[in-house]
Amino acid sequence: MKKIIAGNWKMYGARSMAEALCREVVGCADGLDVQVVICPPAVLLAQVSALLAGSKHVKSGGQTCHTQAEGAYTGDISAAMVKDAGATYVILGHSERRRDHFETDSAIRQAAALALQTGLIPIICVGESEDERKSGKALDVVGQQVRDCLPEAAGIHDFVLAYEPVWAIGSGATPTTDDIAAMHAHILSVASERTGKEKAAIPTLYGGSVKAANAREIMQTAGVSGVLVGGASLKADEFCRIISAAV
């Protein structure tokens, strides 16, 4: 399976920086056997998709989409709109959405089902809090999130999972590679059982404080098929070094 390197710009960026950053990322990714995904804020999605249109290995993705196909939901974005803006992927259930927008596992499952029907590939995020890790509940909590966030029909579609321990996001801290391997093995078993898909066909990314210095070791860890990168995806040099670490 090709490694997936997804960059989540979060609420950063502007039209002027999007152009330069996309050009540099395409320049470094297109010679490599990787799948890169750039997930800019919604207002930049159509522009980024257009900038990536000629790229072989770089696609765009949204950062979220709604549980409903359309309606009176001011400020929200539907799966069809994300698709219409040219995206291939959509991140769902990021811990910042769970925290700030009270997204629940069942809402994430609904949005994922709609995204799949719309022809998007959801990148479904799961991960434990620091307390849950310290109290030895991480595997149980994350396994349950995977069960609850994956639509039953997901097995007939492409989807991606992302293990992002909440305490590792933006903190500089990462789990040990043994802990990452144990979690990915667990996630793959649960996801395979839930969807009927073979483990080898379920891309499972690690996210949380990934940078050029740790990307290779993380991507060589058993069960890790790529990374979801926040802060380091906003710096072309650093993101390109992460992409190169995948091959």
Residues making contact with ligand PGA (CB under 6 A): 8, 164, 169-170, 207-210, 228-232
Minimum Å gap between C-beta 140 and ligand PGA is 22
Q: Given the complex with ligand PGA, which of 107 and 169 has the nearer CB atom?
A: 169
Give the integer Cα–Cα distance in Å for 42 and 129: 27
Minimum Å gap between C-beta 54 and ligand PGA is 27
Minimum Å gap between C-beta 100 and ligand PGA is 12
Minimum Å gap between C-beta 232 and ligand PGA is 6
Q: Given the complex with ligand PGA, which of 194 and 211 has the nearer CB atom?
A: 211
Q: Is 217 a catalytic residue?
A: no
Q: Given the complex with ligand PGA, which of 80 and 91 has the nearer CB atom?
A: 91
Q: Is 57 a catalytic residue?
A: no
* Contact by Cβ (8 Å): 180, 163: yes
Please state, as a whole number, how many other Cβ atoms lie within 10 Å of the Cβ of residue 244.
17
Helix and strand numbers (H, E) in the chain are 10, 8
Give the integer Cα–Cα distance in Å for 222 and 233: 23
Residue number, nearest CB to ligand PGA:
230
Residue with tokens 């698709």: 83
Q: Which of 78, 147, 87 is nearest to 120 (CA)?
A: 87
The catalytic residue among 66, 164, 186, 238 is 164
* Amino acid identity at 147: R
As annotated, the active-site residues are: 94, 164
